[in-house]
Structure 1
Amino acid sequence: MKKRMFALLLVVIMAVALFAGCGSSTENKGADQGSTPANTEEKTYKISVIVKATDSDYWQTLLAGAKAAEADSNGKVVVTTDGPPSETDIDKQVSILENVIATQPDAVVIASSSSDATVPAVENAVANGIPVITIDNKLNTDKYTSYLATDHRLAAGMAAEAMVKDWNGMGIDPSGKKVIVISSVAGSKVNTDRTEGFIAKITELVPNIVVLETQYGENDIAKALNIAENTIAANPDLIGIFGDNNHMGVGIAKALEESGKHNEIVTYAFDTNEDEIKALEDGTLNGLVVQNPFGMGYDGVMHAMEAIEGKSVQKDIIINATIVTKENMKEPAIHKLLYPLE
């Protein structure tokens, strides 16, 4: 009897222990599940930013804007930057773009030197699900994600309007007098739009003005200087020069300074760098058509990030340009455009 009771008691104890063990196991499993964090790690997006040239303060400012967007992403974005040495190195830029696409980045932001040469690579990227944000120069394709740029024709027309206003203030009658455009490169849609925009507006405002044949400086300051010197020497009735980028502006300013003609010839140029700003302060240049490269670099990366995440991105975005003169360059908003990194 005692043996039976002992055996029964032993069975009960074992059953209770087994039940407790099972309960403990289930409880611990639940606790482990609750304490294991969900996989909330976000993917880091690789965005490649390619500019027209690395030898230009303008494009370095755009790259600084792209890097600022990287910093503001709190580790969500890694920006790599690249570009050919000069805006004339179109084949080099195409090669850079093709190599970048081969690495399968999450997005590409590009300021293309050519409206045509980079099109096949851009279309290939888009076809393979890589968003492409184009900046500054519009490509001859609709297969891109977004386009951010100045209206270059309109902005150049603003320079023509400012030039006519300056002539009026100086007591110069522009009728029958001469103006010239010194352009960086031929064949670029950006430069073509700037050249044509300036000429269209200046001839609208002064129908009988003489527009000399456009000269091309091949994005070389020394060549722009030489062109400006020769034009000034050969045309004593020259009253206006328009340079369509910062390298042309610097070359023109040097020619005006050396010839002593800066008080007689009104000059406007696109974009900014240290030399152009100094020439503006000195009165050698009358004005600059200033864009917002820092903002375009920043917004380009941000739009790329939105496109990667499947958000809606506006197809074409026009950014206003500003005419900067010696009179307004100290205004806070203008100063910020001239010195975006301060």
Structure 2
Amino acid sequence: MKKLLVLILVLAMSVSLVACGGDNDADTPSNADGEASQKTVYFLTKILGNQYWSVVEQGAKDAAEELGIKLVVTGLANEAEIEKQVQQLQDAVSAKADAIVIGPTDSTALANPVSDAFKSGTPIVIVDTMINTDDYNVAYMTNNVEAGKMAAEEMIERLKKAGVKEDEKAQIAIQIGSSGSQTIIDRLKGFNEYWDANAPESWEVLNNDVKVNDGDISKAVGFTQDFLTTYPDLKGVFGPNNGSTVGFVIGLKESNRKDLAMVGFDFSEEIEEMIRGGEFEVVTIVQKQYLMGYEGVKAGIELSEGKTPSEKMIDTGVMVVDKDNIDSDEVKQIIDPTGN
């Protein structure tokens, strides 16, 4: 009697499970083993919560929603967590990601891990920062050497507008987020190439005292104060990445040093406020980072389907933003592509 009762209960549960599962799986594609075949892309950002990288992440999320795929986002607390990003990359490969989109925190240290991931057969899309290997499928980023030249051109122009004379001693301070980032290396290369060819001889870039803040805003603000105290002939500051730019903005405002010219990168609330205030001679070079995340995820899915990109390196472009064009439609489309 007990056996009969158990058999009846088992049959009842089986019927119930089939009935519950039927509606949920009706429209879900399945593979040969009967499992859901929704594709998964891993997006390995640099710094979680960073204003710049949040826009890249939003682009990736919007593409994932549009394509109906799963997006797994991982990131770091600061740019010094190189080993953590290596582990995140290895975890994505172990999870059999259909594609990996990564913004390398260190172009050299991540080269071999990215190469290993690529050789495993996982499609690799690089965004924002170049990697020191050819073992990837496609990259979406700024032409950073040219962007650096643009920054130097703007610095020279802003110094002249600020009234700095060509025969006057003038020093330019630089701080960066990471010394291992090819993005930073290329921007500094372009900046110095243009500077050496066009700046007055009495104007000097402090290349022997470039500070590395690891993407830490508090450190970046502290370095700003150090520069202001150490160099009495300081006339300008250059931040080739978002964190460094924000650090310079906060530091200059706290010190009320409106006599300095500033060139930064990317668009944050801090730089926007400084530009709109009109008290500083300031400009920022804005990248199209939303496009990097959006197109990066789309490319990852296309690669997973066996498609080949038409180009391996895709320049997403930059634009100079100052008080004269900050409210233009072209700038708005870059800094707020979703219209929020």
Shorter-chain TM-score bucket reads 0.7 to 0.9
Unaligned runs of 5+ in 1: 1-38
Q: 2:263 aligns with which of 265, 268, 280?
A: 268
Please name the residue that 2:175 is paired with.
182
- 2:298 matched to which residue of 1? 302
Q: Does 1:331 align with 2:325?
A: no
2:188 alignment partner in structure 1? 195
Q: 1:1-342, aligned counterparts within 5 Å?
A: 43-73=37-67, 75=68, 77-175=69-167, 176-208=169-201, 209-212=203-206, 213=208, 214-262=210-258, 264-283=259-278, 284=280, 286-313=282-309, 314-341=311-338, 342=340
CA contact (8 A) 1:241 1:267 kept: yes
2:306 alignment partner AA: G
The residue matched to 2:46 in structure 1 has which SS? coil
* Residues in 2 aligned to 1:268 and 1:56: alpha-carbon distance in whole angstroms: 19
Letter in 2 for 1:211: V
TM-superposed deviation, 1:41: 6.5
Name the CA distance, whole Å, in 1 between partners of 2:223 and 2:29: 60
CA contact (8 A) 1:150 1:319 kept: yes
- Taking only aligned residues, the RMSD between alpha carbons, in angstroms, comes to 2.0
Structure 2 counterpart of 1:205, which letter? N
Q: For the residues of structure 2 that align with 1:253 and 1:125, how far apart are their CA atoms?
A: 39
Task: Assess if the C-alpha contact under 8 Å between 1:280 and 1:325 holds in 2.
Answer: yes
- The CA deviation string for residues 65-85 of structure 1, in whole angstroms up to 9 with x for no partner, is 001101221x2x221111111
Taking structure 1 as the reference length, the TM-score comes to: 0.83
The structural deviation recorded for 1:125 is 2.3
TM-score w.r.t. structure 2 length?
0.83
| 1:40 Cα deviation after fit | 7.5
1:91-136 deviation per Cα after TM superposition (whole angstroms, max 9, x unaligned)? 1111111111111111100001111222333222222221000111
Deviation at 1:207, TM superposition (A): 4.5
Distance 1:256 1:40, change over 3 A: closer
Is the CA contact (8 Å cut-off) linking 1:156 and 1:289 kept in structure 2? no
Partner of 1:19: none
Contact 2:144/2:186, CA 8 A, preserved across alignment? yes
Q: Secondary structure at the match of 1:281?
A: helix
Instruction: Go from structure 1 to structure 2 and tell me whether the alpha carbon gap of 1:275 and 1:100 turns closer, same or farther (over 3 Å shift).
Output: same
Q: Which has the larger radius of gyration?
A: 1
Secondary structure of the residue aligned to 1:52 is strand
What is the letter of the counterpart of residue 186 of structure 1? Answer: S
CA distance in structure 2 between the partners assigned to 1:186 and 1:138 by the alignment: 13
Query: Residue 165 of structure 2 aligns to which amino acid in structure 1?
Result: D
User: 1:53–1:85: 8 Å Cα contact kept in structure 2?
Assistant: yes
1:6-50 superposed Cα distances (whole Å, 9 cap, x missing partner): xxxxxxxxxxxxxxxxxxxxxxxxxxxxxxxxx987942111111
Mark the CA change 1:295 to 1:182 in structure 2 (over 3 Å): closer, same or farther.
same
Residue identity in the other structure for 1:315: K
Count of paired positions: 302
Q: Give the Cα separation in 1 of the matches to 2:177 and 2:99.
A: 29
2 CA distance for matches of 1:201 and 1:139? 24
